[in-house]
Amino acid sequence: ASAYKPEAARVPPALPLPTPPVTKFKIGLCQLAVTADKERNIAHARKAIEDAAAKGAQLVLLPEIWNGPYSNDSFPVYAEDIDAGGDASPSTAMLSEVSQRLKITIVGGSIAERSGDRLYNTSCVFGTDGRLLAKHRKIHLFDIDIPGKITFIESKTLTAGQTPTIVDTEVGRIGIGICYDIRFQELAMIYGARGAHLICYPGAFNMTTGPLHWELLQRARAADNQLYVATCSPARDAGAGYVAWGHSTLVGPFGEVLATTEHEETIIIAEVDYSLLELRRTNLPLLKQRRGDLYQLVDVQR
């Protein structure tokens, strides 16, 4: 065991888990019905956030692409200039206003973002003062082809993000991924090595991969990295061009499903208890057992 060199298994070495600003808090997962009416979607999301906060949620998570249909045809139409803000980005303007008014942290699902001549699938994190804390552009684009089941090529319209996103909030250090990002364990491992307490994945898995992989991947990312994983999907609309699986979920650091739902529109309120992170890491001391003499995870951007 003295030859294992666990500190060398992550380069740079893993950061120690920071002391979170809270030990326990409630998270709200807003599984929203999404329509083609953007103004309605924004108002509907506002109401859901308010309802979650009224039930005690200090962190609220929205779904992937919650302000319009999930389709390559719709992305350019519903895209917003997030950096310009104001009238150029009514979706994020609402998130900023609500987070400040309710004094909560919001991981704003994702929307199509227009930046210059490019479009991105982007998640915005707002702090309790309404300030934009972080912006994550989906790193891994959803380009799949399962004959007879589903074909979707996000890269037809979207550009891939270039930066992993980890952000310190009033409810802990959070890593952000969007949907297909969850399939790539290296990203979650980087977040774990950067001291994340929680990874949030707004996502819209489909009716082909959802039943097989949605819960499996969430539990794997949580168990492998001994942290919390929260996901939020749109509610299922069987008449939509892209049909979401639903099943928004909170998973604990032992890979246990703490709260979940089916496919209907709903708000899940669940408790996150960060004291379990140290407990599980003591129970299973993976950090001390990594074989740095055999393999390494290299965090290129740190």
Distance between terminal CA atoms of the chain? 28
Q: Write phi, then psi, for 250 (nearest 5 degrees).
A: -115, 130
The predicted structure's pLDDT at residue 2: 76
DSSP state letters, the chain? -TT--GGGGEESPPPPPPPPS-SEEEEEEEE----S-HHHHHHHHHHHHHHHHHTTEEEEE--SS-SS--STTHHHHH-B-TTT-GGG-HHHHHHHHHHHHHT-EEE---EEEEETTEEEEEEEEE-TTS-EEEEEE-SS--EEEETTTEEEEGGGT-------EEEEETTEEEEE--GGGGG-HHHHHHHHHTT-SEEEEE---BTTTIIIIIHHHHHHHHHHHTSEEEEE-PPP-TTSSS-B----EEE-TTS-EEEE--SSSEEEEEEEETHHHHHHHHHS-HHHH--TTT--EE-TT-
Q: Is residue 298 domain-resident?
A: no
Confidence of residue 255 (pLDDT cuts 50, 70, 90): very high
Half-sphere exposure of 149 (CA within 13 A, CB side): 9
In 3D space, the residue among 9, 2, 3 whose CA is nearest the CA of residue 193 turns out to be 9
Residue 93 has pLDDT above 90, yes or no: yes
Which pTM does this prediction carry? 0.98
- With respect to residue 196, please indicate whether it lies within any of the assigned structural domains: yes
Q: Give mean pLDDT, residues 151-164.
A: 98
> Is residue 20 in a domain?
no
Reference 197, options 223, 228, 224; nearest CA is: 228
Question: Would you state the pLDDT for residue 50?
Answer: 98
Maximum separation of any 2 CA atoms in the chain, in Å: 61
- Please report which confidence band the pLDDT of residue 38 belongs to, taking 50, 70 and 90 as the band edges: very high
Task: Please report which confidence band the pLDDT of residue 3 belongs to, taking 50, 70 and 90 as the band edges.
Answer: confident
Give the total number of structural domains in the chain.
1
* Bridge partners (DSSP) listed for residue 60: 28, 106
Domain that holds residue 275: 25-288
What's the rounded mean pLDDT across residues 158-169?
Answer: 98
| 2 belongs to a structural domain | no
Distance CA 156, CA 171 (A): 36
Give me the mean pLDDT over the 157-167 stretch. 98
* pLDDT at residue 1 greater than cutoff 70: no
Tell me the pLDDT tens digit for each residue of 131-146: 999 999 999 999 999 9
Interval 41-77: pLDDT, tens: 999 999 999 999 999 999 999 999 999 999 999 999 9
Catalytic residue numbers? Answer: 64, 138, 179
User: Given the structure tokens 């982007």, which residue do they identify?
Assistant: 122
Mean pLDDT of 7-30: 97
Residue 234 lies in a domain: yes
Look at residue 259 and tell me if it is in a domain.
yes
Crossing angle for the helix pair 215-225 and 185-193, to the nearest 10 degrees: 30
Write the CATH number for 68. Answer: 3.60.110.10
Q: Give CA torsion, residues 18, 254, 187, 31, to 10 deg.
A: -100
226 lies in some domain: yes
Any bridge partners for residue 135, and if so which?
124
CA-CA distance, 188 to 182, in Å (whole number)? 8
Q: Does residue 4 belong to any structural domain of this protein?
A: no
